[in-house]
């Protein structure tokens, strides 16, 4: 639940509906009072993020940022975060 709340904060703070996995991880690691930078001695990585979000039906997709297709997450659409946030 904390991960979903922190993700909503990151998306809202950045005023976007999509973020690359790398940018999302950086933002999560930088959150004050979060433990994403140190989960049992290691920072949250792309594989673990995908595994945790998969539990909520959220999947990474190719998203276009500045004309380039990069793996990331969307707030809306199929497999997006909005559905998980509403639950």
pLDDT of 40: 86
Instruction: Please list the helix, strand and coil fractions of the chain in percent, rounded to the nearest 5, in that order.
Output: 45, 20, 35
What is the set of domains in the chain, with CATH numbers? 2-86 (1.10.10)
- Written as six digits, the tokens of 58 are 């959220």
- Give tens-digit pLDDT for 33-83: 889 998 888 999 999 999 999 999 999 999 988 888 999 999 998 888 998
pTM over 0.85: yes
């Amino acid at each position: 639940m904390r991960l979903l709340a922190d993700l909503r904060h990151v998306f809202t703070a950045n005023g976007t509906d999509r973020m690359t996995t790398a940018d999302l991880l950086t933002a999560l690691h930088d959150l004050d009072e979060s433990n994403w930078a140190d989960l049992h001695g290691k920072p949250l990585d792309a594989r673990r993020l995908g595994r945790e979000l998969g539990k909520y039906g959220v999947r990474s997709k190719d998203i276009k940022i500045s004309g380039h297709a990069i793996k990331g997450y969307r707030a809306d659409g199929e497999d997006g975060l909005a559905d998980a946030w509403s639950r």
